[in-house]
Amino acid sequence: MTDLPAPVYHTVKSLPKRLQPREMFDRIGAEHVPDEVLFAILLRSGTRGFNVVDLSRELLRQFGSLTALVRADMRQLRNLKGIGPAKARELKAALELARRLSQEQVEERGSVHSPEDVARQLREPARELEHECFWVVLLDTRNRMKQAPVLVSQGVLNASLVHAREVFRPAVLHSAAAVILAHNHPSGDPSPSPEDLRITRELVTAGKQLGIRVLDHVIVGQSRPGQQSYFHSLRESGLVAFQETST
């Protein structure tokens, strides 16, 4: 049996509706869409034979990271096919605002003193999600959050979706001293599954090899009658052996 060729979408309108940037943005929220969707909304249009999502992916591929994009000058941005002076100017303005906001928040970012501090960050974003999402919280040497929790995967939580390289890539990129893992249970019950425990142990081991401490894995559910808490800390439950927290 011959495999059918993958569909080619030359325009955003030809994409399945659920994958169109504006529809996805409205449906799951700005904080949950991938980087290329945010860039697609900024860029608004693609170029001949190259829709705006493909253009955004190429932008990210060529620069390799958001940090590299922030550092790019106008000439570097304009050198990418499909990015003219106007698009380059708008991108540079948006990235510079993000850089300034990050700098402004350096002294305001909160310290993580307990699993509830992490659960509180994710409770509202997770409330409306119908699928599991996995985040990593990046901490400095004083257990202060370096930025908002980073979304690293979406879908059913299993080893095929949660890769150590995806979890620790932002930690390496932002020079995090430690991380806290987190994901949601759309059912509302934050009790860990055997798969949750297995994946957590694998990530703790991977963190040791990279020199990045994994301090906890927080599972966020919902408040339910008769349920002790809307979240579950694997460190506090003693179900997984984590590395020591810094003092």
CB 135 within 8 A of CB 122: yes
- Strand-pair category, 213-220 with 178-184: parallel
pTM of the model: 0.57
Q: How far apart are CA 53 and CA 56, in angstroms?
A: 5
pLDDT tens per residue across span 72-89: 888 888 888 888 888 889
pLDDT tens per residue across span 196-225: 999 999 999 999 999 999 999 999 998 766
Q: Is 212 left (phi over 0), alpha (psi -120 to 50) or beta?
A: beta
First to last CA, the chain: 61
Would the CA dihedral through 202, 203, 205, 210 be positive or negative? positive
CB 185 within 8 A of CB 220: yes
Q: Can you give the pLDDT at residue 103?
A: 58
pLDDT tens per residue across span 89-107: 988 898 888 777 765 554 4
pLDDT tens per residue across span 163-193: 898 899 999 999 999 999 999 998 889 999 9
Q: Can you give the pLDDT at residue 161?
A: 62
